[in-house]
A and B are shown apart, each in its own frame.
Chain A
Amino acid sequence: MSARSAILGALALAALALLTFVPRLGNPYYLALAISLLQYTVLATAWGMFSGPTRYVSLATTAFFGVGAYTVAVLGEVLPWPLVLLIAAALGAILAALVGLSTLRLSGVYFVIFTFGLTELIRQLVVWFEVNKSRVLGRYVFVDITQSDIYWQLLLLTVAVFLLGWLIARSRLGFALRVIGEDETVAKHCGIDTTFAKVALFAISATIMTLVGAIMAPRWTYIEPSIAFNSMISFQVLIMALLGGAHRLWGPVLGAVPLTLLFELLSARFPNTFTIILGCIFLLIVYLLPRGVAGLFEKLPAKLRGENIKRVAA
């Protein structure tokens, strides 16, 4: 273990220790803010886990998030909570596997197009089902889950995501994905089952997003398709992951934390022009920081970064 990864690990532990104190502050505003922070950190990191190494831009974060939230809306009162989470995760994984199997075998553009429309497709299907079959549009979520319960679950999920990402980066799967990201033809010639690797990671990342949706659902007491499938989430997560730099596991956090705080401020101050500001920020990032904040760190002289920079995987 190099000095650099020891520092990173110590930083992560310190952050974790700090985060466990938030619910004890007893201030509901800070708790809500911390929940938003964790929510976007997990979503952006999960996005980066798939899209970072493979460079396939997924615009379907909302679709999975919404599936999770809606699962809770339908099953939350009927089944015990862990079972609901399990079902939500399974639904997300199945959906991702279906989407992945049908589009990830093809060129990346088709994947983008499909994920672009996936949210709208699922939203329409849910509306259609609710109107024609169950005859309710909009459901109340009455489950016995407090804000601090949500917080602890999200914190647990955050830790799990980083552990998982770290493990994947060191596994054969993670190595295969990096090869695919560099050159897919070469990867195929090395005997990598590229479709399997891509679909597997897409499913893992989507399952995490679905879980976030399910965990966040009790925050709203009323859920309808336009709330659960709000395309702003896809957009915000994309901005955060790109600002941070999706090619590193710790990159998206660097984008998620400042941007969550900024969006919190902006949406309160400029509710009407929020979307425009968001679009402009996004364009600035695409033009000025194509490799994100993590890319800036890589540009620092080698001396500042420690010796074996090329070896650091996470």
Chain B
Amino acid sequence: MTNAILTGLMLGGMYALIAMGLTLQYGVARIMNLSYGEFLIAAAFASHWLFTGWAISPFVGLALVVPLAFALNFAIYKVLLTPLVRRAPNRDALEVDSILATFGLTFVIQGSMLAMFGGAYYSYSYLAFPVQFVGETVAANRLAALGITIVVGLVLYLALTRTRAGTAIRAVAVDPFAAQLVAINVPQASALTFALGGALVAAAGVLVSTFLTFSASSGVVFTMKALIVVVMGGVGNMLGCLVAGLALGLSEALVASYVDPGLTLAVNFALFLAVLLVKPAGLFGRATR
């Protein structure tokens, strides 16, 4: 039982980390990014390449991959998504357009990765030794990933609530029109937040690659889980993201160890629907829509 709960918590921490970037991208920049998981897999491949080709540890690799992902996502927002933002008459239209555009982007990225790496599953061994933790044996890389998740989450939370830039980002999330009245450069803030979300998912990808096997076509599953966590937690809400991620991870681990590992996705969906039917705005969301 302790083992299942511990596994669930670590899995949940990972889901929370994965979803944090999406909740920023969707909550602030209003881009429903369906290619999100592909960026995670791309970062995982980058980390794999750095580790096996250049013997660079994934934690050092973070320092390379994350800024690169930030720059790349900033460029994607500026080049690909800004025309859609300009064209959209209202928020719903932007949502539909961004869903379509990023859905197309999914296939471009996935196709490129398939062409480069093929359909095989990849993994590498890093920090894969067992350690004792609250009386249970867990893999060191999972524990390290959980530690980094907590640090990243805390830093992000503090940055959003305690700094001037973070407050501006939250203002854009609440109302992009009113935010302009208090001299916030909304397009700039949106672009930076989208890029920040991209950097977060790249970090998640590097961490995930240390303990999960991945293939060029497994991005969709990560997109799905991130979407479920974001909606369950309430769009744009960091705390909700954490709670929803943990809930998802716990339920998955419990189902996998007591019912059947093949039914985890079904449980995800059931949980997602249950939350939506009871509280459509998410666990911590305000009922504005």
| Majority-rule SS of A interface residues | helix
Instruction: Contact check, A113 vs B227: say whether CB atoms are below 8 A apart.
Output: yes
Size category of the A interface is: 35 or more
Taking a contact as CB atoms under 8 Å apart, the answer to whether A286 and B231 are in contact is no
* One of B42-50, B104-112, B126-134 contacting the partner: B104-112
Inter-chain contacts of B273 with A (CB < 8 A):
102-103, 114
Identify B111's interface contact among A110, A238, A275, A287, CB under 8 A. Answer: A275
List of B residues within 8 angstroms of A235 by Cβ: 103, 107
A131, A278, A290: the one contacting B107 at CB < 8 Å is A278
Are B227 and A106 interface neighbours, CB within 8 A? no
Q: Are B265 and A120 in contact (CB under 8 A)?
A: yes
A110 to B80, CA, bound (A): 24
B289 and A107 form a contact (CB under 8 A): yes
What sequence of 0s and 1s flags, for each residue 264-276 of chain B, a beta carbon within 8 Å of any chain A beta carbon?
A: 0110010011001
A224 to chain B: closest CB distance in Å?
15
Indicate which residue in B108, B266, B277 contacts A121 across the interface (CB closer than 8 Å).
B266
Interface size class of B (residues with CB under 8 A): 35 or more
Tell me how far the C-beta of A241 lies from the nearest C-beta in chain B, rounded to whole angstroms. Answer: 11
Please classify the interface of chain B as helix (H, G, I), strand (E, B), loop, or mixed, using the class held by over half of its residues: helix
Q: A117-B224, A286-B104 are in contact. List 20 more A-B contacts (CB 8 A).
A: A59-B103, A108-B96, A112-B32, A114-B269, A128-B263, A132-B260, A231-B220, A235-B103, A272-B114, A272-B115, A273-B111, A276-B108, A278-B111, A279-B104, A279-B105, A279-B106, A282-B100, A282-B103, A286-B100, A286-B101
23 sample A-B contacts, Cβ–Cβ < 8 Å, listed by A number: A55-B96, A102-B276, A113-B227, A116-B34, A116-B227, A120-B220, A120-B224, A124-B263, A124-B266, A127-B262, A131-B262, A238-B103, A275-B110, A276-B107, A276-B111, A276-B115, A279-B108, A279-B109, A279-B110, A279-B111, A283-B105, A283-B108, A287-B83
The residues of A with any CB-CB pair to B shorter than 8 Å are 55, 57, 59, 102-103, 106-110, 112-114, 116-117, 120-121, 124-125, 127-128, 131-132, 231, 235, 238, 242, 272-280, 282-283, 286-287, 290
Binding site for A on B (CB under 8 A): 32, 34, 80, 83-84, 87, 92, 95-97, 99-101, 103-112, 114-115, 220-221, 223-224, 227-228, 231, 260, 262-263, 265-266, 269, 272-273, 276-277, 280, 289
